[in-house]
Amino acid sequence: MISILYQNNVTGDAFDVTTLCAGAKWSTKRSGSPASLELTMIADDAVVWTHGGIVALKDDDTGIFYGYVVKIGQDETDQVTITAYDQTWYLKKNKETYVFTGKRADEILTQIAADFGLKCGELENTSYAIPSMIEDGQTLFDIVLKALDHTLINTGKMFVLWDDFGSLRITDVEKSKLDLFVGDSSMATGYTYETDIDSETYNKIKLVRDNKETGKRDVYIFQDSNNITFWGTLQDYESVVSLIVFGNYPHDVLPVGRAHVAGVDGRVELDVVYHIVEHLHLRHIVHKVREVERTQSLRGLVFDHADCTARVDYEYAWLHFACF
């Protein structure tokens, strides 16, 4: 039987509020967002809702959701609306600067959790020691997810970060498969399918750079003229410090990347974030780190395409590579 439990974090009082619940919505995403539990509750003078209070959703003895109250609302009908997020919300909410050398993704999460007082459960050994990661003022969530991206790129193994009823976990997706099938004769009762050209979709990229030598502004434009004919112009605009353009690629398969340049012990770290266009969407695909000697000029630096290829097969992309 489903039950909803609540503990006031100020007084320590605990309640079974299952019978007060008029509606509940539990939401999760595979990556990038904390799980949430939205409750519509009947107001009760004995139950005082507080920010940071603990909410648990259980099915008999099986824990489903364990989180913390973040939003509290009430209207004239004496209904209280509660939104709670699991522990990964703290990873999303907090920012910090970290320098890691030779650390695995699970070790990075262990250190961050210790620094911020978060609880870890079983963390899979991700095997790959990341040579260097410098994160300046980034969310803890992004730092850990980036470490998992590095692991995916260099080992081909995908791990997922999630909250297991109050404990942060890193799990190998290969070990998380269930013997369930969704189809016409099993569980599925319907589906919806949607495409759009509204979210992070561009067919024209305009890069501008202030040229200190000429005193003028250099403009670089990359576009898909054929696509513009069908959709109209959808332009993204970026200001960059320097530009590196790759050559000798097929016109229909070109890597797209942005690089953050930071000095590391006499070296330059290029943290490359690839973007790729597949039919309608511009998507963040992978992170790739390369190092070159500081004395080597960044302008015209050529990266081997095979070495920088994302471990995802997509059909269409166009090129820009900017050092911010």
Using DSSP, state whether 142 is helix, strand or coil: helix
187: in domain: no
In terms of Cβ atoms closer than 10 Å to its own Cβ (0-12, 13-18, 19+), residue 6 is buried
Q: What is the mean pLDDT of residues 83-107?
A: 97
pLDDT in tens, 127-161: 999 999 999 999 999 999 999 999 999 999 999 99
Across the chain, mean pLDDT equals: 78
Q: Are residues 108 and 9 in the same domain?
A: no
Q: 66 and 123 in one domain? A: no
Supply the pLDDT for residue 241.
Answer: 67
Which of the residue ranges 16-25, 57-66, 116-125, 300-309 would you say has the lowest mean pLDDT?
300-309
Give the pLDDT of residue 286: 30
Of 27, 51, 86, which residue constitutes the final position of a domain?
86
212 token code pair: 């200190």
Residues 63-75 pLDDT 10s: 999 999 999 999 8
Cα(108)–Cα(161) distance, integer angstroms: 12
Q: Say yes or no: 96 and 78 in one domain.
A: no
Please answer whether residues 145 and 161 qualify as being in contact, where contact means their C-beta atoms are separated by less than 8 angstroms: yes
CB-facing half-sphere around the CA of 197: CA atoms within 13 A: 12
Claim to verify: residue 211 and residue 291 sit in the same structural domain: yes
Are residue 306 and residue 239 in the same domain, yes or no? Answer: yes
Judge whether 25 lies within some domain.
yes
Cα–Cα distance measured from residue 63 to residue 59, given in angstroms and rounded to the nearest whole number = 6
Shared domain check, 209 and 310? yes
Q: What is the pLDDT of residue 269?
A: 34
What pLDDT was estimated at residue 180?
A: 79
Query: Residue 108 pLDDT more than 70?
Result: yes
Contact by Cβ (8 Å): 20, 35: no
In a domain, 305, yes or no: yes
| Residue 211 resides in a domain | yes
pLDDT-based confidence at residue 209 (cuts at 50, 70, 90): confident
**Alpha-carbon gap, residue 55 to 86, rounded angstroms:** 9
Instruction: Answer with the one of 86, 111, 144 that is the final residue of a domain.
Output: 86
User: Quick one: average pLDDT of 44-53?
Assistant: 96
Q: Is the pLDDT of residue 293 over 60?
A: no
16: phi then psi, degrees, rounded to nearest 5: -95, 110
Whether residues 214 and 147 share a domain: the answer is no
| Rounded-to-integer distance, Cα 37 and Cα 151, Å | 31
Are 167 and 177 in contact, with CB atoms under 8 Å apart?
no
One domain, residues 235 and 249? yes
Q: Which amino acid is at 98?
A: Y
What is the model's pLDDT at position 289?
30
Q: Are 222 and 318 within one domain? A: yes
Q: Provide the pairing of β-strand 256-264 with 235-239.
A: unpaired
CA 263 – CA 285 distance, rounded (Å): 25
Residue 103 burial by Cβ neighbours in a 10 Å radius (0-12, 13-18, 19+): buried
Same-domain check for residues 289 and 309? yes
The per-residue pLDDT for range 232-290, each reduced to its tens digit, is: 999 999 887 654 443 333 333 333 333 333 333 333 333 333 333 232 222 332 333 33
* pLDDT attached to residue 183: 76
Sign for the pseudo-dihedral over CA of 205, 320, 291, 312? positive
The answer to whether residue 183 is domain-embedded is: no
Given this model, what pLDDT does residue 304 score? 33
CB-side neighbour CA atoms (13 Å) of 229: 3
Q: Output the domain CATH number for residue 168.
A: 3.55.50.10
DSSP state of 77: T
What's the whole-model pTM score?
0.63
Q: Residue 197 carries which DSSP code?
A: S
- Identify whether 195 is part of a domain: no
In a domain, residue 191? The reply is no
Q: Would you give the DSSP letter of residue 48?
A: -
Q: How many domains does the chain have?
A: 3
Its domain, for residue 221, covers: 204-323
Is the residue at 246 inside a domain? Answer: yes
CATH number of the domain within which 56 lies: 2.30.300.10
Percent of the chain with pLDDT over 70: 74
Stronger pLDDT, 282 or 53, i.e. the higher one? 53
Q: Are residues 96 and 58 in the same domain?
A: no
The amino acid sitting at 25 is K
pLDDT of 290 reads: 33
Of 86, 117, 151, the last residue of a domain is: 86
Looking at residue 57, what is its pLDDT? Answer: 98
Q: Are residues 170 and 233 in the same domain?
A: no
In this predicted structure, what is the pLDDT of residue 312?
Answer: 25
